[in-house]
Amino acid sequence: MTGMAAHYVVRHVDRADPETVAALREAGVATVHEAAGRAGLLGPEVRPRQEGAVIAGSAITVSCHPGDNLMIHAAVEVCRPGDVLVVTTTSPSTDGMVGDLLATSLRARGVAGLVCDAGVRDIATLREMGFPVWSRAVHAQGTVKATPGSVNVPVVAAGRLVRPGDIVVADDDGVLVLPASSGPAVAGAAADRLAGEAAKREQFAAGTLGLDLYGLRPLLDRLGVRYVDRLPGGDAA
């Protein structure tokens, strides 16, 4: 139909190597963020809606009309075990785009979890199910199924570009997205960081100060920070 915008359901996605995905999941969002050069974080407005969930997987992306979850139902069909569904809307929305029924369908396809730059509902049931969700809002406002959108096209979620097949890592610290091509290098850097952090943790537990462990005393001196017992000109106690 001439003049109408094109909408697609893209069936094929180049997914990341499962071993790389597993390594990034083990490392967690904060470590992966550092290992990736402090890149890839979604904005903090997309928050975990449970405690203790840790997921990683290849992104299946959805672009929806606000208040309309038609394309999420279309996306379920192309999901595979281990995928992470990333739902966005074409303008800001907090409507409950996914509830327990869609989550049940996603779980049946083996989806690892949901990242939704809009709202979710039935949150108590989602927690009981153990289906991990990160969302912009929890809101009971329902949706319709009437407006076209697209599945597996590039989208923007909480300020971050997400492409189909990107690696998504999510835990209590938030959500991070990496190009699949950078996954192996970041996983290696994350493993190195974890080893270094383990050694530092032992030193901190033994009482070593960060000022000494990181060699920060000369930096304080160069910055003009002075150590005094009392502020100059202060009254004596």
Residue closest to 115 by CA, chosen among 72, 147, 78: 72
CA distance linking residue 93 with residue 113, whole number of Å: 20
Question: Residue 178 annotated as binding?
Answer: no
Residue closest to 79 by CA, chosen among 98, 66, 54, 52: 98
Q: Are 148 and 141 in contact (CB under 8 A)?
A: no
Question: Residue 95 annotated as binding?
Answer: no
CA distance linking residue 86 with residue 42, whole number of Å: 12
> Chain centroid to CA 143: how far?
24
Q: Quick one: tokens of 62?
A: 């959805």
Question: Residue 121 annotated as binding?
Answer: yes
CA distance linking residue 168 with residue 162, whole number of Å: 9
Q: Are 139 and 119 in contact (CB under 8 A)?
A: yes
CA distance linking residue 103 with residue 129, whole number of Å: 9
CA distance linking residue 66 with residue 96, whole number of Å: 10
Residue closest to 74 by CA, chosen among 152, 6, 12: 152
Question: Residue 28 annotated as binding?
Answer: no
Q: Are 4 and 149 in contact (CB under 8 A)?
A: no
Per the annotation, where are the binding residues?
A: 99-102, 121-122
Per the annotation, where are the binding residues for Mg(2+)?
A: 122
Per the annotation, where are the binding residues for substrate?
A: 99-102, 121
